[in-house]
Structure 1
Amino acid sequence: MTKEVGDVSILFIGSALVVCIGLLSGMVVFWRVPSLRTTQPPTFQLASTVTIIIPARNEEQRIQPLLESIALQEGVRIETIVVDDHSTDCTREVAQSFGVRVLTNETLEDGWIGKSAACWTGANAADSDLLLFIDADTVFSSPTSLLAYLSEYEEMGGIGILSLQPDHKAERWYEQLASIFPVVVMMGMNVFTVVGDAVKSAGSFGPCVLCRKDEYGAVGGHESVRGAVMDDLALGKKFQEKQLPVRCYSGRGIAWLRMYPGGFRQLIQGYSKSMASGSLATHPLVMLLINAWIVGGVLSPLLLLLFAAFSGEVGFLLVAGTLVICYMASVARAIRKAGNFSFWTVPLYPVLFLFFIGVFMYSLYLAKWRKRVRWSGRDIQV
């Protein structure tokens, strides 16, 4: 064996080890994602009404499917409040056409971020014992979704937060390209590892947050996290500080969402505004495992295309091919848990990881150097 071949073999073995660690890390950090029961009827009559609070800024295109799905809900007494966060489109008119209560936040006080202010306004106006904060781009999957959601919350003790991450619905190419993003968001919540809820959650998911109004008030509600870009994580932490449980579940079968139908630029703005700051809430060990999974995903095709080929060893080629197939399976399994992403993207997984890294670095630049991000026509200080 020549020195060059020997050096390539050493590089191959080292890279193969990194890839194996990445595969194992991805499995450990995304071991099991629990979801709520959607077919079993409740064992008791719900005693409480629920106020659904929808913060909405320029959501005329996305809020209608949500309001339609709310109108179809069965077995639950519902008060719906849409808080128009100074929209410049017809969000208010669309909401009013469904006969729901519409409030308006015209201006923001210093230190407030729009969504937090809208949620706070809606919560203060709510008449129900239960509050459900839901993003305008979320849609209930069936007429019994809300009943199943509330029933599970009550069976879990009816305290703290029960938050859901809805299934992502991807239609256009750039949404498929971003399939790794919701996976990492879910991984970063700390609670889907092999140890389950032995590690405290990073907070709550943002699209669907269910809690009791009295507990919300006791922790200070959104007023206590008024300046947080990731208000969902910050609010969850406030509940945890009061020793109230914060549970994070998959919303599969309960709700789905399509986050960025407005185009590639909207997707970049949406994810870059929160990724860097959100990562700070992730447990350091979980973050290390996530990074190992990403690095392994970038390196694994390198084994097949470079080191294995240069070595000329058939055994190395077989090992490299096996590792690439295993990584494809790992990515396919992960994105399937996050939404309806197409499997044609799976062979392109190194590109998916590189795209994620690029947007994360841009988010880091915005958070650490520019100190500002732009979203829905507003500049937000971070």
Structure 2
Amino acid sequence: MPFVSIIIPARNEAERIPALLESLQHQNFKAFEVLVVDDDSMDDTMSISQSFGATVLCNEATQEGAGKSAACWHGVQHSKGEWLLFLDADTHFTTPDSLGHLLEFYRQKGARGLLSLQPFHHIKDMYENLSAIFNIIVIVGMNVFTIWGRRFKPAGSFGPTILSNRDDYLASGGHKKIEGALMDDLALGEAFLDEDLPVYCLGGKGVISFRMYPEGFKSLVDGWCKSFALGSQSTHPLVMMMTIIWISGSFISAGALISSLVAMDPVAIVLTGLLYLLYAFQTMGFARRSGNFKRFIFLFHPILFTFFAGVFVYSLFRVHILRSVNWRGRKITLK
């Protein structure tokens, strides 16, 4: 394997980054360097990263909202590796062989283009289960997880875990080209596709995990709000239509069950009850491929879909009317 530069953009990640840095120390593959690019943190991110032996750099963002992309690009300028691995600070490798397996898969693909993984979502607090539908839609929205396989062009790439060789990264323009893009993960994947470089999107179960929005309910809403209105624009229309039909099915099954209960029709109650339960089991099956969500919450799947719809509408309002979103203590103005 070639030498790998692991670049971690970090802003106020003192509570989350230790798990990642510790998991890196335990990897059986050792030919890598770790560069933590501090993005104007106001906590102990820098000192904690240094305590794990990481090289800490200071971000040199040149414009508002360019933080993560500028940090990644700055890290590349100081890196030595032939391959570049970008990791979000809230991720961590699942086993000591995870990094080696990830690199080996990339090599089997010819070590060309971009490989991205959506980490397995590790749930701790009950409110985090509200992310279940979002996790499903994020994966489906990449266009490549359908019965048509890779017939559709990928919508971009997953942001938390991105691997590329240096030559292809620079040929695409890298994070410098997409500086200022709100959805940097989608934009980077599109930059590779524009240069006819392959983009691979995979689930990260068994390889890499993360815990999304542990700060609380508001952080969860702000995070998904930032992502969805713009991200949905890159989803193939057919995939989007099928997703809307699937979401509608939850409300239809719930409505049919309620109607049968009101009418006190025993046969209808049994049939609509079975339909409602089948929808619950199907949704649970999809969601638990992407995270360890509590099984019982899917008995209330209309609530999960209602929350998703509410945040999506709020996201459309923030992006297209207010032209701004909030994230990590910053108000990001959209052009």
TM-score band by shorter chain is over 0.9
How many Å apart are 1:319 and its aligned residue?
Answer: 2.1
For the residues of structure 2 that align with 1:157 and 1:99, how far apart are their CA atoms? Answer: 32
How many Å apart are 1:295 and its aligned residue?
Answer: 1.2
For the residues of structure 2 that align with 1:380 and 1:354, how far apart are their CA atoms? Answer: 26
For the residues of structure 2 that align with 1:361 and 1:268, how far apart are their CA atoms? Answer: 12
How many Å apart are 1:315 and its aligned residue?
Answer: 3.0
Secondary structure of 2:234 counterpart: coil
> What is the identity, as a one-letter code, of the residue corresponding to 1:100?
A
1:332-378 Cα distance to aligned partner (Å, 9 max, x none)? 11111111111011101100000011111111111000101111111
How many Å apart are 1:109 and its aligned residue?
Answer: 1.5
Choose from 39, 45, 63 the match for 1:85.
Answer: 39
1:355 and 2:320 equivalent?
Answer: no
> What is the identity, as a one-letter code, of the residue corresponding to 1:256?
S
Choose from 233, 236, 241 the match for 2:194.
Answer: 241
Question: Given the superposition, is the C-alpha separation of residues 357 and 113 from structure 1 closer, same or farther in structure 2, using an over 3 Å criterion?
Answer: same
Equivalent in the alignment of 1:100: 54
> What is the identity, as a one-letter code, of the residue corresponding to 2:111?
G
Secondary structure of 2:289 counterpart: helix
> What is the identity, as a one-letter code, of the residue corresponding to 1:119?
C
For the residues of structure 2 that align with 1:343 and 1:190, how far apart are their CA atoms? Answer: 26
How many Å apart are 1:180 and its aligned residue?
Answer: 1.1
Equivalent in the alignment of 1:140: 93
For the residues of structure 2 that align with 1:164 and 1:351, how far apart are their CA atoms? Answer: 28
For the residues of structure 2 that align with 1:178 and 1:351, how far apart are their CA atoms? Answer: 12
Task: Check the 8 A contact 1:50/1:129 in 2, yes or no.
Answer: yes
For the residues of structure 1 that align with 2:327 and 2:129, how far apart are their CA atoms? Answer: 22
> What is the identity, as a one-letter code, of the residue corresponding to 2:320?
K
1:1-382 matches, within 5 Å, as: 46=1, 48-105=2-59, 108-110=61-63, 113-306=66-259, 308-382=260-334
RMSD: 1.1
For the residues of structure 2 that align with 1:83 and 1:62, how far apart are their CA atoms? Answer: 15
Task: Check the 8 A contact 2:65/2:333 in 1, yes or no.
Answer: no
For the residues of structure 1 that align with 2:330 and 2:237, how far apart are their CA atoms? Answer: 32
How many Å apart are 1:164 and its aligned residue?
Answer: 0.4
Task: Check the 8 A contact 2:64/2:332 in 1, yes or no.
Answer: no
> What is the identity, as a one-letter code, of the residue corresponding to 1:56?
A
For the residues of structure 2 that align with 1:291 and 1:220, how far apart are their CA atoms? Answer: 34
Task: Check the 8 A contact 1:55/1:136 in 2, yes or no.
Answer: yes
How many Å apart are 1:76 and its aligned residue?
Answer: 3.6
For the residues of structure 1 that align with 2:80 and 2:178, how far apart are their CA atoms? Answer: 22
**Structure 1 unmatched ranges of 5 or more:** 1-45
Task: Check the 8 A contact 1:113/1:380 in 2, yes or no.
Answer: no
For the residues of structure 2 that align with 1:112 and 1:270, how far apart are their CA atoms? Answer: 14
How many Å apart are 1:310 and its aligned residue?
Answer: 4.3
For the residues of structure 2 that align with 1:120 and 1:329, how far apart are their CA atoms? Answer: 43
1:77-121 Cα distance to aligned partner (Å, 9 max, x none)? 01100000010111011101111110002x531365111111110
How many Å apart are 1:311 and its aligned residue?
Answer: 4.3
Secondary structure of 1:330 counterpart: helix
1:15-67 Cα distance to aligned partner (Å, 9 max, x none)? xxxxxxxxxxxxxxxxxxxxxxxxxxxxxxx2x01111000000000000000
Q: Between 310-319 and 205-214, report the one with greater CA deviation.
A: 310-319
How many Å apart are 1:314 and its aligned residue?
Answer: 3.3
Aligned residues: 334
For the residues of structure 2 that align with 1:85 and 1:183, how far apart are their CA atoms? Answer: 30
How many Å apart are 1:313 and its aligned residue?
Answer: 3.7
Task: Check the 8 A contact 2:61/2:71 in 1, yes or no.
Answer: no
Identity of aligned residues (%): 45
1:206-244 Cα distance to aligned partner (Å, 9 max, x none)? 110000111111111111111111101100011011111
Task: Check the 8 A contact 1:52/1:131 in 2, yes or no.
Answer: yes
Secondary structure of 1:337 counterpart: coil
